[in-house]
C-alpha cells in the first residue's frame, strides 16, 4: 500500500510513522478499506557452514506484538494469522574426509495477519506521534 498519500494529505512529516505498520493501517482505515493484510517478520535464522567445524545456526526473535497492538488501536480487529518460513539463502560445503555435504539455511519466519475494520468511524487521531517507537528499538517491520 502506498503510504505517500497519507503524508501528502498533511498527516504529518514523520515519514517513519507512515511507513510503520500502524501508519499503513491508519492510512488504509482512512481510505475506507474493510480488510487489511500485513506481513511482519517474527524471527530470523542465520546459518553458516565452517570448514572442519560444521554448521552453526542462530535464531533471533523480532517484536511483532507492539505492531499488532498499534494496528488494532487504529480500528482493526485481527481475524486471521498464518506463518510461513521464507528461505533467503543456503550455505553448503563438502564434508572434510567424508562423503556428503553440510548445509545451513538462512531465512525468516513471517507472520501474515488479516484484519477487519471495526464498525463505525475510524478512531480520530492527529498527526503521527513524535518519537513513536513500536518495538523498544528492535526491528519490527519491513515492507515486502
What pLDDT, on a 0 to 100 scale, did the predictor assign at position 38? 97
Tell me whether residue 47 is in a domain. Answer: yes
Tell me whether residue 141 is in a domain. Answer: no
pLDDT tens for 61-94 read 998 889 999 999 999 999 999 999 999 988 877 6
Tell me whether residue 77 is in a domain. Answer: yes
Q: Which residues of 43-82 are buried (b: 16+ CB within 10 A; e: fewer)?
A: bbbbbebeeeeeeeeeeeebbbebbbebbeebbbeeeeee
How many distinct structural domains can be found in the chain? 1
93: cell is 560445503
Tell me whether residue 106 is in a domain. Answer: yes
Tell me whether residue 29 is in a domain. Answer: no
Tell me whether residue 66 is in a domain. Answer: yes
Share of the chain above pLDDT 90, in %: 46
Tell me whether residue 24 is in a domain. Answer: no
> 113 lies in which domain range?
34-117
Tell me whether residue 93 is in a domain. Answer: yes
Mean local confidence (pLDDT), 90-118: 83
Amino acid at each position: 500500500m502506498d503510504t505517500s498519500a497519507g503524508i501528502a494529505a498533511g498527516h504529518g512529516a514523520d515519514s517513519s510513522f507512515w511507513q510503520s505498520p500502524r501508519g499503513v493501517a491508519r492510512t488504509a482505515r482512512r481510505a475506507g478499506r474493510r480488510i487489511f493484510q500485513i506481513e511482519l517478520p517474527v524471527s530470523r535464522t542465520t546459518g553458516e557452514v565452517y570448514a572442519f567445524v560444521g554448521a552453526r545456526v542462530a535464531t533471533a526473535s523480532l517484536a511483532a506484538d507492539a505492531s499488532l497492538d498499534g494496528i488494532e488501536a487504529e480500528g482493526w480487529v485481527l481475524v486471521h494469522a498464518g506463518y510461513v518460513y521464507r528461505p533467503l539463502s543456503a550455505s553448503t560445503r563438502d564434508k572434510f574426509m567424508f562423503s556428503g555435504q553440510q548445509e545451513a539455511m538462512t531465512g525468516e519466519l513471517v507472520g501474515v495477519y488479516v484484519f477487519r475494520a471495526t464498525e463505525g468511524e475510524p478512531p480520530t487521531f492527529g498527526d503521527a506521534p513524535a518519537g513513536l517507537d513500536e518495538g523498544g528499538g528492535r526491528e519490527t517491520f519491513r515492507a515486502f
